[in-house]
Chains A and B, each alone.
Chain A
Amino acid sequence: MKKVYLKLIACISVILLLASLFVGCTSDKKENDSEEEVSSENGNSAAQEKASEDSEGSEKVVEPGWKKDTSPVTFDWYVHFSWYNYNWGETLISKYVQEKTGVSINFIVPAGNENEKLNTMIASNTLPDFVTLGWWEDGVRKMIDGGLVYSLNELADKYDPYFYEVASPQVLKWYEQDDGKTYGYPNFAVAPEDYDKYEKIPSNQTFVVRKDMYEALGKPDMRTPEGFLAALKAAKEKFPEVNGQPLIPIGLHEFTDTGNYSLESYLANFLAIPREKDGKLYDFREDPEYIRWLKTFRKANEMGLLSPDIFIDKRAQMEEKIAQGRYFAMLYQRTDFVAAQQALYERDPNSIYIAVDGPANSNLDPPKLAGPGISGWTLTMITKNCKHPDRAIRFVSYWLSEEGQRDMYLGRQGETWDIIDGKEQYLPEYAEMARNNREQFDKVVGQDPLWMLGNSLIQMRWAPEPGPAVRQLEEWTYGKAVSYAIYDNLIPPSDSEEGIIASRIADLWGQTLPKLLLAKSDEEFDQIYQDFLKKRAEAGYEKLLAWQMQKLEENKKKLGIK
């Protein structure tokens, strides 16, 4: 048998080599061919464009480019979120936009592991016309470095100068690469300056308590460790059970391989821990205030106030428990439990969660919560496989313009919206649908899922009032939100040396955090903590920090901060 295998392997490897050369050659050739095709096409259309522009003469006012050509065109648009679902052409908004601009979109959505799909498309150069993905994704850098996407500047210069009228210069600057070009445009970006212009900039981060219990306990002050523990203890004693199930005194976000969001930057923001100290990046994990609060959580566990459930439950279970009102208090993003809050409100408006002052530092400084940043949420890019880059950039400009924002948010005037009481808003029937039957609204009108190039500062005007169940949560965060934009993209590329260090350290922290909370005593806590610092240093923390410092300097330059 062995001999057979050896022979076989020898034989096969020869075949393979030949076969792979064959396949490799043909596929390479194909790639080149298709690229050439595209570029020659571009050349042609660019030439035509120039000719047409010349004939039009030199007008000073920049016309929206999309108006030049509204013939039908279809874009394949990849959205890097497996839950995304939108039927272009079936909703009122998409029909209207298609009629107006000629653009039809075929959304390509992965199921299961999103990265698998994206990586395959990158590796085989089969990206569709548009790609939308989170700015933090590794794919962004890969597509730019691999030369798979157009720079927006190039396309705008060539086909649609109007782009510069509607794009925010700060955003373009922020996403500028070393070559001075910008390759993607984000949605919902808020520049640091905007914080001075708009007063109602919210944060997602909240510390919430169950209203009825909190009031029954006499609204205790939970800003100090002592007050915090006493309140949890009192809640547990006074309300041992909720609907026959044990009360969970404090709820947190899901524990993951890399730790727990609630107990990291989230908690640090409540403690108003600065991200920089003495001109250097400052890790909240080294801050005495932070350690003091982690020890408070450890103490809570010792007192039996941390339920094992909080270490085990995933999002679905938490959602269920929030809807039952099983938690007394939570360090939990307000936007992540809207449905559950609504369910609570419908049963008993008094049993909802309200935001109150949470953990604070020794000076009881107000929290500095994370507000929306200049990075926004997702980034949209036009790939070099795009057959109509001219139409693509014009569509982007259209969407970014105020007109586009209005069309994409409200739809056609008279059909879905109108000026009522001097304010642009949805017609009453749709406004009611949005409030009461959100799924139906998304299906018929289709506003929310079209967020690829949404701008929250513009759309703010049209947003319906938040419902009574969630209003207090949002309003509480006004004025407490801070822009942490410059610290946003300090994530090193995952396959670089620093990236591997970062993932090791994240993994290490993910293992350490539960141990810290479950430690039997403060001494044990200190020991585990020291051990963590030691292992972190061994993993190469200094090197990572140096990389991040350098990146931070670049960020500051981009935003003009000294």
Chain B
Amino acid sequence: MGVKSTASNNATIFCNSKRFFRKLKEQKYLYMMVIPGIIWMLIFNYIPMYGIIIAFKDYNIISSFFEAPWAGLKHFSDFFKDDWFPIIMKNTVGISLLKLVFGFPLPIIFALFLNEIRNSTFKRTVQTISYLPHFLSWVVLGGIMITWLSESGMINELLVNMGILDKPVAFLGEPKYFWWIATISDIWKGLGWNSIIYLAAISGVDVELYESAIVDGAGRFRRMWSITLPSISGTIAILFILAVSGLLNSNFDQILVLRNSLNASSSEVIDIFVYRMGIQSARFSYATAVGLFKSVIALMLLLLANWVTRKLTGKSLF
């Protein structure tokens, strides 16, 4: 009941004239669609947000959120002063950028090429198979990867036999390989799954466009480039903006299983650090502070990416 009044409060802030009511009447059906969603967000997203204040407090789960003593910006400065801070920032951003540069376009390219397959049975089979890895859990997959990437594992066997390597390398033991291992395995796991949304977008492309292109003598690449790609650019733009805003996120499950004491210098990322410092040792305020830091950066990145994308392509989130 508190929620209902807040919704109308909102409305009054927006506009206070008669025009408002006329427009409201015109748009009443649209409002009937939108308002339930707004109410849902107020209840399920906004009410619990008071939890954020513990980032500025010394919260201990026995006391309530409001009783906990204030700590100011202590947790933030602790985080920035930590010896690990520059390392984890470098690794988080580094891995994310690699995933963005390679992992973002590949599903699009895969979807484009898959779309060009003529035999529809083959096309469906390929697509079904390509999305299977998404369902392997990282805990189990990580175990398999550790075995395969070890000095006596099958990857080394293969590479040595093919003459690419002189002697086996403990891939997971060398910090310099870690970013790439994380990126490649992530792409591998998500390629088919992430291409689904592009395939859905492609299926909405008007067939007449292709037909007229063929009449004009456009080849396959030409058609992909100037018909399919522009037609799905709205979807691409939105997913790109969202991907950029996730720059400080990392694949927690994946990195948790692949990291070890030898590659720590390149595998320690924010999410793992928060887990170790915050959740394992029950330092809630600290973990919340780091989470808040991440959220603020993400929001800024989103607005930035949205602005840049709009300037460049005219497409945007809002």
Contacts and interface: CB of A to CB of B under 8 A. Distances in A.
A11 B11 CA distance: 11
A120 B147 CA distance: 36
A512 to B, nearest CB: 10
Contact of A311 (B10, B66, B257, B262): B262
A101 B9 CA distance: 59
B170 A312 contact: yes
A513 B261 contact: yes
B151 A307 contact: yes
A18 B2 contact: yes
* Interface range for A: 35 or more
A142 interface: yes
A15 B49 CA distance: 11
Interface in A27-42: 28
Interface string B274-286: 0011011111100
B61 A122 contact: yes
Contacts of A115: 279-280, 282
A260 to B, nearest CB: 8
B282 A138 contact: yes
Contact of A495 (B257, B260, B282): B282
A246 interface: yes
B70 interface: no
Contacts of A260: 261
A232 B3 CA distance: 72
B146 interface: yes
Interface string B30-58: 00000000000010001101100000001
Interface string A474-518: 000000000000000000001100011001000100110110000
Contacts, number: 116
A113 interface: yes
B261 A7 contact: no
A127 to B, nearest CB: 12
B10 A1 contact: no
Contact of A494 (B6, B172, B282): B282
A311 B151 CA distance: 12
A309 B150 contact: yes
Contacts of B64: 24, 28
Scoring A116, A138, A307, A495 by chain B CB atoms within 10 A of each residue's CB, the highest score goes to A495
Interface string A278-296: 0000000000000000000
Given A20-B50, A24-B65, 11 more contacts: A11-B9, A18-B2, A115-B279, A146-B62, A245-B152, A307-B151, A308-B150, A311-B173, A311-B262, A312-B170, A507-B276
Nearest to B265: A511
B206 to A, nearest CB: 33
Interface in B1-39: 2-3, 6, 9-10, 13
A461 to B, nearest CB: 39
Contact of A317 (B3, B42, B143, B281): B143
A123 interface: yes
A314 B61 contact: no
A324 B281 CA distance: 36
B139 to A, nearest CB: 9
Contacts of A507: 276
B264 interface: yes
Given A309-B150, A494-B281, A16 B46 contact: yes
B49 A7 contact: no
Given A320-B147, A511-B264, A16 B13 contact: no
B173 A312 contact: yes
B309 interface: no
B159 to A, nearest CB: 16
Contacts of B13: 7, 11
A312 B260 contact: yes
Contacts of A307: 151
A28 B64 CA distance: 9
A316 interface: yes
A509 B3 CA distance: 52
B2 to A, nearest CB: 6
A145 interface: yes
A514 B151 contact: no
Contacts of B9: 11, 15
B303 interface: yes
Given A145-B62, A312-B262, A495 B170 contact: no
B279 A113 contact: yes
Q: 10 closest A-B pairs (Cβ-Cβ)?
A: A146-B62, A308-B170, A20-B50, A255-B261, A123-B61, A308-B173, A494-B281, A514-B261, A19-B47, A311-B262
A313 interface: yes
A31 to B, nearest CB: 9
Interface string B299-315: 00001000000000000
Contact of A16 (B49, B65, B146, B173): B49
Contact of A12 (B3, B46, B62, B257): B46
Scoring B42, B61, B276, B279 by chain A CB atoms within 10 A of each residue's CB, the highest score goes to B61
A116 B279 CA distance: 8
Given A19-B2, A115-B282, A313 B261 contact: no
A253 to B, nearest CB: 12
Scoring A20, A24, A245, A499 by chain B CB atoms within 10 A of each residue's CB, the highest score goes to A20
Contacts of B276: 257, 507
Contacts of B172: 312
8 contacts: A19-B50, A22-B2, A314-B146, A314-B257, A495-B58, A503-B281, A511-B261, A511-B264
A119 interface: yes
A514 B282 contact: no
